[in-house]
Structure formats: structure tokens, C-alpha cells
Structure 1
């Protein structure tokens, strides 16, 4: 008995040295529970990401495996390098950009798109080491950081409504879906179930809600029952290292340069937005509104993107669902490491995750949107030089279907309005430079 206790103490001491548990006033148990909770809220990506990328022609099972491995690598990199309870996964929005814009819209192959993501990841590693991305985060005004958080919430909720069929193309731009459709009714039930569990503060709300909604769908004949609960891990071979399955002329072509720049630009400000949003909501920003160890966090993010492209998935970035684990008490990178290990475990339960319908996952997206949209309460709407840029930031994101565009509109309007209202002291030189770059981008691209 004494040996067992000694072993546990030694193990705890090692983890404390690595993750500074005592310094952060937390315990191994708390961090493990937080990591599991975070995974529960992120598990939907194992369903949604393969579904989106399969529309670009990629093997669904292979993308499932790539998604789990990329989330594991990215989350562990964040845990060990930055010691933050922030997890990573293929980003919603960027996976849609990958599939629907680059592949289906522009007509490039998914291998071509993966190569662009890989090159972008390498560039981001270099930028992270040279502090450029860190400086961009630091120059974003606090009011816009709150607006970014709210905007991402609206953006994610919009994706959820669209995925559920509650909102569909029609009318002037969009319209209400067919509320009599059995699948839409199932989605609405999922939202109500998840909302009820969330209000009652049930741990694992999102995963539990998805399971209940899926079971209801199976009983109603709307969802196909998986033939097995456990299976062998789907082969990653159809997508693994396919980013390099191109000719030199394709890799060094003007078209590749254009796509890499597009991914780079969108991912840069999407990543900054997601990281700011999570840190702001979770109280990780310091007194000056900056994120300590931002360089390490951004490097972990870049590693996740690069590894993800090699494995066979779209851009990997910080997940907003990290807030769920933080709410459960997660304060260190041990939370992220536990989440990463959970993604490895999930590889053996592919039939379960791939059978969960979008009607079940949409509730998660909508409620995560609710959580993040609350940041709008931190914005001072009595000062129009703050209110207008903030509003443009969080309204453009869902309307333009782009986090990056929202950030650009916010920074440009903030800089111009502060200058014309004689509040030059609130405008940094870096903001002026970004404003000029964004205006050129809108004018020339």
C-alpha cells in the first residue's frame, strides 16, 4: 500500500513539475476531468470534419482518423509548449473554406489544397518564431477582442442552424427551413435537450445531448443504427501525405501561391480570432489585454496545422470548445494533453461517431455560439467609436461566412473612426499598418 501511494505521489510530482499544477492552484484530478469534459464538447468534429471534407472527394474514414490524430498532436503541443488548457482541432469555417471554396468552388484537387495548407503551416511556424503573429494579437484593441469572441459565437451558431436545416438558402439571402421536416424536428429536439442539460449544469452536456438525439433519430428511423460499436481504426492511407502527391510544376505554380496566400491570410486572422476569443472569455489575458506565452501557443497552433496537412485534414487551430474544460476547472496544459489522449481512444469507436447525424451536432454549435456571444456584454456601446467597429466585427463574421473578414472590417473601421474623432492616442502604428494592408486587400484581391 505504501509503495502504491509513493508511486502516485511520484507521478503527481512529475506532472506538477511539467505543468506547474500547484502554482496554478489545481490538481491532477481536476485537470483530467477538465480534459475529458473538453473532449466531450469537441467530439462532434470527428463527425462534422469528415462529412465536410468528404464532399471535396476525400475518404471519410481516412479523414476521421486524420482528424483525431491532428487534434491529438495539436492539443498535446499546446499543453507541453504553452501549458494552456486550450485544445486544437480542424477549424470549423476553414474546413468549409477548404472544401467548398478551394476545391468545389475554384476547382482545385483536394491534394492541391492539402499542399497549400502544409506550406501555410510551415510559414506560420516561421512567423511564430519571429513574433509577428504575437504582435498582431497584442495590437488588437480590447473592445475588438470582445467583438471577435461574440462574432465567432454568431458564426458558429449560423453554421449550426444551416447544418440542422433550420436555416436554408432562399428569400433574399436565407430563409427558415421546412419546420415540418422530420430531420429539422429532430434538430430542434436536439437543441432543446442540449439546452436543458446545459441549464442544469450536467457534465458532458454536449456529448450526452448528441447521444440522446441520435438515439431518438434511430428509434424514429431517421438515423441508421451502426452495425458495430467498436471497430478497427479506419486506414489513413487514402489521405496520408497526399499533400506531397503533386508535381513540382503544381507546387511552384502561381495558382499554388495564390491559394497559399489566401489560406495564410484567412488562417492568420481566424487563428488570432479564435485564440483571442478563448483567452478573453476564460480570463487568460493579462492587465494589458495580452496573452502571456502567446508565442508558444501560436507555435503549437502552427505545428498542429502542419501535422494536420501531412496526416490529411484541413487547417488545425485552437478550439472554442476549450472553454468547456476551463469552466470545469482546467488551468494548465495537462487538460489539453488529456484531451489529446481521448482523441486517440476515440479512434477505436469510429462507427459510433460516424453515425451521429448533423441534426445532433448542430445543437452543440448553436449553444457554443450562445456561450461566446455573451462577450458582447463587455462592449461599451455608449462610445460609438468603439460600438461601430465592434458591431461590424461581430456582424460581418456570420454574414460574410468569414472570421477573417470580420476582423478586417473591425480594425479598419476602428482605426479610421478613432482618427476622425481625435482619439489618436488609442491607435497604435501597427493598427494603421494593418488598416492600409486590409484596404489594399479589399481593393486588389
Structure 2
């Protein structure tokens, strides 16, 4: 899904000029056509004249009709936030929101969990990746290297096959989304703040002819409505600084027996997740250091055969300093650690190769400071280093290391089976040189 919204008003008058290119290849014996879902149902607002994103807080739900002979159902979900929910991982616990007099901070805590329900019953949950959009923390961090996944918000995948005996009754059913925060009753920010959610339901049909309705029963269902959360605040004796700590963990386990046209099968879905967030604030909240780590393991087995496995680790350590912003238009950011480490084994219906994992491991670190303003133009400096590694489920590889300083790429190295002809950036001349085979 591609959605590129724009704002046009008295201040912002530009338009986007976008070219979307799709390249298709004929299948061959060596590269046969991939397996795919038989039916894909959009999980969107289904609007004819506005955004397709579901919005939470709000009615973030859709009604679906699932074919009665469905044998597998894989839910793909994309979730992101805006306004006071854009950088939710820096939000403070409500109890400490007014700790610094005259300097209220965004509240509802730093923990966010996207929850998915089928007819009101929890079917899965995940902590979203902490995307830092391209102006986040300090704009000069991201010139010209965008932050991790800023233009490719990661999808999360849930197996809702255990719910097919309910969904395959020929009636309309509800898939709904909510986002758990740390406000009252698990609320998130609501004043000009929203969570945007979209996705798709990928369905594999049983091929028995004539079609046979899928039935079955739930054998085990352990899915608490909320993770286990521990939160605390540690104010300094002089009232000038504050440290907060939030830890959370979740487990769930679902086992169902399905009876399809092809016979009986057991489907087991299990998940384990953890969240750790520590914040240190001083200078009336203008100085903030955040250290966070989100990790999870999600597994789906069909007849004791692993068909989906998602192992993820998302570290983040960032410090922002706005102490001199109001007087000198001066502010800085230091990104000590920022990572996206994920190993995905996907079923064929989602484009995967059964039993094989694809792994993406990327990290960034850098620093930037805006030193002042000359008229309407700000000036300063920035640097960023990024490392990227990809190992595909077909054995293909791609690696890249790149460094940028003051909006210029000063070093770049690429290698692996998917890399183009070796091209390294000359650190001294700033020109590219091509490494030719001898």
C-alpha cells in the first residue's frame, strides 16, 4: 500500500511529483511463480475520497466476510502515530507530566501496544517499531540519510487461522484495533493525536471440490487483555531532574483444531514480548535522554510445523537538548543507538519460503546541532552513520555501510549477491570510484 498525503494551505503550497514503477518478470523453472493467497481482503477505511487509514482513538474496525472454505488466514498490520503520538517513546507518565512547573510534557507514558480483536476477542498484539520521522529530534540528523523505516513502516503479521471456525459461518464479522497506552484505563494521547492503522487479510482456501465449510473448536486460549506493566518515577531531591522507568512483558498462547475439506489440523499461535524504557529529564524537561528496547518472539505452527516466526529486537538510545532553543534557537540531538533487527519466516501466502527465514539488521548512530538562525534559515551541523545487512530466504545477501556529514555522503560501501558492481566513495576526493575486476 502506498499513501502519500499532502498539506496545501497558505503556508505550504508545494505539490508532490511522484512516479511509481512496477517491474514484472516471467516465471521460469529456476524462478517459478511464488505461492500466494487466494483472497486478500483490505483492512482499510474503504473511503472513496479520503485516507484509507483507520484512526484510533475512534472506530478502528472493519466488517469482513470470509469464504466458508478458508483454510489459513494471515493478518498484516501497519500502525503509526501523529502529533503527541508521533514520538510516543518520549512521552512521560501522567503522574509526572507536570513535574516541571510551567513546562507540561506529552503524557500517557512511553508504552504502546497495538491490539487486534476478532469479534471482540483478543487475537494478537504487538509493540510498534519506534519510527523517527525525517524531522525528528533534530532535522540535520537526517540529511541526506533518512531514519530507519521512515519511508517503509514495517508490517506486523498475525495468524488468525484459529478463529476460522467462527469466521467461516457465512456471516459478517468484525476485526477491530485498539492501542493500549498508560493513561487512565490504558488511554493514549487524544488532543490532536491519532494512531493510523491499516492492513490486509491474506486468505488461503481449501481446494476440496465441492467446497467444504471449515469448522473446528478452540482447545486453549490464554491471552490477557493487558501486558504486565511496572512503572516508577524517581525525582531528584532538589526537584530539578526526574528519572522514569517502564517495563512490560506479555505472553499469549492459542491452540485450535480445524476441520477442513483436507482433514483435521491443529494450529498453535504463541507470543512473547518485552518492553523497557528509561527516561532522564532535567532543565525543566528541555533535556531528555531516552533508552528503550523492544523485543518479541511470535510463532505459528500448523500441525506442529512452524509456518510463521517473527523474532525482533528494536533498540533506541537518543538524547535531545532544547535548553537554549527559546533564547538562541539552538538545539541538539545525539543518537547513540537505533536499530531494527528482525528475522522473519513467512508462509508462502505472505511471499515467504516455508522453513526459511529472511533477516534484516540495520543500525544508525549520529549527532546534530542547530546553532542558530539567520532570518528564516537555520544553520548547524550533522553527521550520521548507518549499517545495513540483509539475508534473504533464498540465500541472497546485501550489505551496506554509509556515512554522511553535513548533508553529504562521505563514505559508502556495498557488497553481497544483490549489490551492484562494487562502488566505494572516495573519502578524500568526494568522487565515486568504480572497483573493476582484474
TM over 0.5: no
Structure with greater strand percent: 2
> Per chain length, whose mean CA-contact separation is higher, i.e. which structure has more relative contact order (CA < 8 Å, sep 6+)?
1
Structure of larger gyration radius:
2
Q: So what's the TM-score if we normalise by structure 2?
A: 0.22
Whichever structure has more helix as a proportion of its residues is 1
What TM-score comes out, normalization by structure 1 length?
Answer: 0.22
